Structure 1
């Protein structure tokens, strides 16, 4: 699946990105759930469930 999304300015130093509902349902994410973002380089961003250490 490929989706095109735009970044939206949400605060002075923050941007937001909307995630398609199909992806949210596929991974069973909920509103206000914590997610971990990892910059994998070359324009790749990895989004995972946030896990406690």
Structure 2
């Protein structure tokens, strides 16, 4: 698979997971910068025509 150009690095596709969910991969650079880990809980909120993903606070 060819690498994306640097300016297109944040363009992602949605993938179907089962019958009722859609998945999205996040750029590893952003995940590392936020110090997020695999299986970490996050909060997804709809805002206008976009979404906000934040760390889940207990």
Residue of 46, 54, 57 corresponding to 1:51: 57
3-state DSSP of counterpart to 1:51: coil
Residue of 14, 27, 30 corresponding to 1:20: 27
Give the C-alpha shift of residue 15 in structure 1: 0.6
Equivalenced residues, count? 51
Could you list the runs of 5+ residues in structure 1 that have no partner in the other structure? none
3-state DSSP of counterpart to 1:29: coil
Question: For each residue in 1:3-46, what CA deviation from the matched residue of structure 2 results, as whole angstroms up to 9, or x when unmatched?
Answer: 110000011111100001000000000000000011111x2211
Could you list the runs of 5+ residues in structure 2 that have no partner in the other structure? 1-6
- Runs of 4 or more off by more than 6 Å in structure 1? none
> Which structure has the highest helix share of the two?
2
Distance 2:18 2:40 in 1: 20
